[in-house]
Amino acid sequence: MNIFDGAKHQLNLAAKHLELSKGLLERLQTPDRTIQVNLFVKRDNGRTQMFKGYRVQYNNFLGPFKGGLRFHPAVNMDEVSALAFWMMIKNAVSDVPFGGGKGGIQVDPKNLSESELENLTRALAKALSPNVGPNLDVPAPDVNTNSKIMDWFESEYSKTTGEKSKAVVTGKSIKNGGSQGREQATGLGGFFVLEKLVEKLGFKKPLTAAVQGFGNVGSNIAKILHDNGYKVIALSDIKGGICNTTGEDFNVDLVKKCREEKGFLAGCYCVGSVCDLAKKYDGVISNEELLELPVDILIPAAVENVITKNNANKIKAKVVFEMANGPTSPEADQILNRKKILVVPDVLANCGGVTVSYFEWYQNMHREVWQEDKVNGRLKDQMEKAFNSVWEIHQSKKVNLRTAAYILALQRLAQKI
């Protein structure tokens, strides 16, 4: 099944445990609005090129549509619809007053100059301006987008509409109304959930972890784990990764610096206070091999569908902690459940980002500025409450954590109808 069908399959599994009307269930399987735009951008060489842009507004039962914008060659309507659906579930699980939305542009931003990237972002903002706004739909960063891109989007929205509202997007730079703590929010929120899980399961530290993906989410949670006594023994990015089979954990700060200098992780075998570049080949590992390592915590933090029916039987971790969106296919989910591998679903594990996005939106709307300690403290409270609510359903209904999270979300959505 494609990614959107897989998302709806998860919804139907959870719905079996609730008495929902047929009409509500049908409505939850279809987005309220899908938007496709053609963006014409003048390249540096003088030629004009067309790019496809997408925005899916899934529903706004709980509040304004909310979800990121990704710039990636694989962006399409099915993917964006599934991601918007997951945002609907995620926002309900984290108990923030937003509905589900998602969007993006089908483009490889690495092939654009900075001026071309800015022009493309502004073209998207202008095209979407009738359909977004602080009380309507609030975009945010996602794959290959960042605070600079959000600043451009906000600027063009204000220019096009004449409305001067910083709250039209979140994930902005601090100087432009962004929130303290937003950069590491997804990773830190995941850490708070993981700590509660470790406590519930009675695991003893130090625990070993492998992280697939070294973007904002993967690098941040790897650093937070390293700083809090976990042994991060394997890391990877799109070009491959590094693994330390001796059990020593990597110095994530040095790994990050090394990767920034070299452009890839495979040459960044950084343990303790040094990077042993001689181990460039001895310590190399593929993304596929990383997933199969016998670690306590496996963290897919890259893209969708990396754990499938083809490799699920090879997973040896005790816990799969989904920091990416949709990294486990429904077929793989069934296999992992049979193997008694605990899967912490994306809609719980990675909802720290949208939680702090809500904090940023709230600060903008009320003209407040919170210090980082306040942001992180409220994030911890919100994530722990979400975990405890999901865990209670997991225990009382004897269902896995993914189904429990969906049940919680459906209960909250049904209350707003």
Which residues are the active-site residues? 102
Instruction: Identify which of 283, 349, 341 has the alpha carbon closest to the alpha carbon of residue 322.
Output: 349
Are 97 and 412 contacting, i.e. CB atoms less than 8 angstroms apart? no
Q: Tokens standing for 282?
A: 């001895």
User: How many angstroms separate the CA atoms of 226 and 256, rounded?
Assistant: 13
Phi and psi, residue 214, nearest 5°: -130, 35
Instruction: Identify which of 288, 262, 178 has the alpha carbon closest to the alpha carbon of residue 298.
Output: 288
- At a CB cut-off of 8 Å and minimum separation 6, what does 246 contact? none
User: How many angstroms separate the CA atoms of 308 and 336, rounded?
Assistant: 10
Are 240 and 284 contacting, i.e. CB atoms less than 8 angstroms apart? yes
Residue with tokens 């919680």: 408
- In degrees, rounded to 5, the angle at the alpha carbon of residue 354 between the alpha carbons of residues 353 and 358 is 120
| Inter-CA distances, 228 with 9, 138, 221, 244, 379, Å | 36, 33, 10, 19, 18
Instruction: Identify which of 363, 357, 344, 355 has the alpha carbon closest to the alpha carbon of residue 379.
Output: 355
- At a CB cut-off of 8 Å and minimum separation 6, what does 16 contact? none
